[in-house]
Structure 1
Amino acid sequence: MNYKKLGTTDIDISTICLGTMTWGEQNSQEEAFEQMDFSLENGVNFWDTAELYAVPPKAETFGHTETIIGNWFEKTKKRKDVILATKVCGPARDYIRNGENSFVGKNLETALHNSLKRLKTDYIDLYQLHWPERNVNNFGRLGYVHKENEWNKFEDVLVELQKYIEQGKIRHVGLSNETPWGVMNYLKLSKEKGLPRMMSIQNPYSLLNRSYEVGLAEVSIRENIGCLSYSPLASGFLSGKYRNKQFPKGSRMERDWDFWTRYRKPNTNEAVDEYFNISEKYNIDMSQMCIKFCEIQDFMSSVIIGATTMEQLKTNIESVKVNLDKEIINEINEIQKKYPNPCP
């Protein structure tokens, strides 16, 4: 396994991060336990979850994933072996705290303490804001509409988070689905006011969505706030699962067609086919090629992998052993030029 520092901290995190969002929906607790056992045994010490999970999000499975992880900690007594990241919801889900999903006040206190309870731990290594409170384009949405006098409580959020860092309930904080403007606001206030510093940006990045490179890549490198990329396989499209418009029973697309529209875009299938041609030409497993391409980016701290089977998990973790030479990378870049970011 390879390791990098988490932002400016002294914490070494594996460059492969164990994603968990299928646990409690597509995966049972027993299957999740097997994934956690195997991942830790193979050097994956960095795990990511969220209060929102399992996915697709719904009231009846809210918090289930954190509960499963907490049960594993209780059983194995290995909490200190894991760098644990979770996320607090932004606005949009009325069934979560009656829609009161701000990052300050009683809402954040309730969210944090409920996560700690479900996870059966007294601290979280990386507490992330799942998506901004203000209006931004994320989850595949385009056409930004600006609203005057909209949410601008960056300092209030950092002050609130500082309280729980001082209490020892949070070690470090991070962002998710954030923009360059948002990231720089948090970093500026942190420096000027002596407030907690954001250590990571969990945003999508894959061969079908390299939009992170446009603005956030420079921020990550210059400010030492690395990317934690989610959906490196574009929710299965880059694994070949949905080639020829096949949607296997039990797959994410088959379970919740409307939730995954961001990947069903013009040129998606064409781009996937051409990336497969590269993997076949060089005899590299497609999933491993895609994950490795993410891992080797200078702005990348860790690549979040999600698996519903042990075979998938083993394949994904073994991507760290793959070598992508300049010729392969050049061919990948040529396809990006031909089909630029079909799934932003």
Structure 2
Amino acid sequence: MDYVQLGDSDLVVSKVCMGTMTFGEQNTLEEGVEQLTRAFDEFGVNFLDTAEMYPVPTKATTQGATDKAIKMFLQSRKREDVILATKVCGRSERIKWLPRRDSETPAALTRDQILDSVDASLERLGTDYIDLLQLHWPGDFRPSQYQDNPKPTSFEEQLSALQELVTTGKVRYVGVSNESAYGVCSMAALTRQFPELYPKIVSIQNSFSLVVRKDFEAGLGEACFHHNVGLLAYSPLAAGTLSGKYRKNVPKGARLTLFPGFMERYLGSSNEEAVNAYCDLAKKADLTPTQLALGWCYHNELVASSIIGATTMDQLEENIQAYDVRLSDDVSKEIEAIYAKYTDPTKAR
């Protein structure tokens, strides 16, 4: 396993990060602990990512269950040996069951909600600090996404709340998730102008894979490079589709069946054609589809660390062992040829 400094923080994280969103839904809490133990003790992973809304699909009856598994895991080792990342929910009129001061409060990135979220997360996790706190999705005004949001939470309010948490020692570093180049640059500008008021974001957790590249590569990657914001690539297997396991059928209980609407981008788009092309290339290169997809993401110069998820130990081992795969120049060229044909397949209809 290799390690990298995350942005301009002093966090040195493994190039493979353990995602946990299935713990408490598709996996039992005990299975979650077993996965984390295997990844940390046998493969040298030191980095895990959770969120207050986990497991997914998020719902009131299971919210926070994932953190219980992580608490169980943390009890068996030194806290300083684990780099713990979590996330506070962005604005959502639908999610009204999170631990907030007033019940039935829709999720938002207001000062009070950020502070309350962290206090509740610390209690669930059984720790007194979070290494990396991320804003799960934007809380500012985006006309294309939030036309019904007349009172967006300003970047200043979000960052000042994060600074309070850093000052008190509850949070060491902060980052964003599902953010845009506009958001990254706006926050970086505020920090540069008022460093005593606002903390520097050190990471961005966005979807990034063979079939989801364009959004990051076309502008956001440049913004992150110049502001030293490390990419934590989530869904490097594109919800499992790049593993090739859904080419013939989607089994009952699979992740794609658990997210009505959201996962249709992977099945009701040109993504199926792109996945078939990458799977055929993997076979030609004597690799599994998983090895091709993860090998490409793990060693991509834009990526600081890749967040993986698994529901079985076999999947976990294949995912982590794929880190040893180094793609040849010829295979890399063929990947670019497929990308030229299927540049944005999850959005093409």
Band the TM-score falls in, shorter-chain normalisation: over 0.9
Task: Answer whether contact 1:5 1:11 (CA < 8 A) is retained.
Answer: yes
Q: Is 1:317 aligned to residue 312 of structure 2?
A: no
How far 1:21 sits from its partner (Å)?
Answer: 0.3
Q: Secondary structure at the match of 1:21?
A: coil
Give the equivalent residue in structure 2 for 1:260: 263
The answer to whether the Cα contact below 8 Å between 1:265 and 1:342 also exists between their aligned partners in 2 is: no
Paired letter, 1:119: L
Q: Distance in 1 between matches of 2:313 and 2:148?
A: 46
Query: Shift in Å at residue 145 of structure 1?
Result: 7.2
Kindly indicate whether the alpha-carbon contact (under 8 Å) linking 1:241 and 1:248 is maintained by their aligned counterparts in 2.
no
1:203 aligned partner, one-letter code: N
Q: Is the 8 A contact 1:131 1:175 kept in 2?
A: yes
Q: How does 1:31-70 map to 2 (within 5 A)?
A: 31-41=31-41, 42-70=43-71
| Distance of 1:339 and 1:135 partners within structure 2 | 31
- Which amino acid in the other structure matches residue 8 of structure 1? D
Q: Of 295, 299, 314, which aligns to 1:296?
A: 299
Are residues 144 and 89 of structure 1, via their aligned partners in 2, closer, same or farther at CA, if it must alter by over 3 Å? closer
1:251 paired to 2:254: yes
2:240 is aligned, of 230, 236, 239, to: 236
Q: Please report how far the alpha carbon of residue 250 of structure 1 lies from its aligned counterpart in structure 2 after TM superposition.
A: 1.9
Deviation of 1:150 (Å): 5.5
Q: Does 1:119 align with 2:125?
A: yes
Distance in 2, matches of 1:294 and 1:129, equals 23
1:89-238 alignment to 2 at 5 Å? Answer: 89-92=89-92, 93-96=95-98, 97=100, 98-136=104-142, 151=152, 153-194=154-195, 195-211=198-214, 212-238=216-242
CA distance in 2, matches of 1:185, 1:323: 36
Q: Hey, which of these two has a bigger chunk of helix by percent?
A: 1
- Alpha-carbon distance in structure 2 between the residues aligned to 1:59 and 1:148: 23
Contact 1:22–1:308, Cα closer than 8 Å, also in 2: yes
For residue 272 of structure 1, what is the amino acid of its counterpart? V
Unaligned runs of 5+ in 1: 138-142
SS of 2:203's equivalent in the other structure is strand
Distance 1:136 1:81 in 2: 39
Which 4+ residue blocks in structure 1 deviate beyond 3 angstroms?
143-150, 255-259
Pair 1:145–1:162, CA change in 2 (3 A): closer
The CA distance in 2 between the partners of 1:8 and 1:243, in whole Å, is: 41
Query: Which whole-Å CA distance do the structure 2 matches of 1:116 and 1:334 have between them?
Result: 46
Structure 1 residues 256 and 3: CA distance shift in structure 2, 3 A: same
Cα separation, 1, equivalents of 2:328 and 2:237: 20
Percent of pairs with identical residues = 42
Map of 1:2 onto structure 2: 2
Gaps in structure 2 of 5+ consecutive residues = none
Distance 1:262 1:276 in 2: 18
**Number of residue pairs aligned between Structure 1 and Structure 2:** 337
| CA deviation vs aligned residue, 1:213-244 (integer Å, no higher than 9, x gap) | 11111112222101101110011111112112
1:279-338: CA deviation from partner (whole Å, max 9, x where unpaired): 111111211211121122222110000000011111111121101121111101111111
Distance 1:120 1:253 in 2: 32
- Contact (CA 8 Å) 2:87, 2:134: kept in 1 or not? yes
**Correspondent of 2:336 among 309, 317, 333:** 333
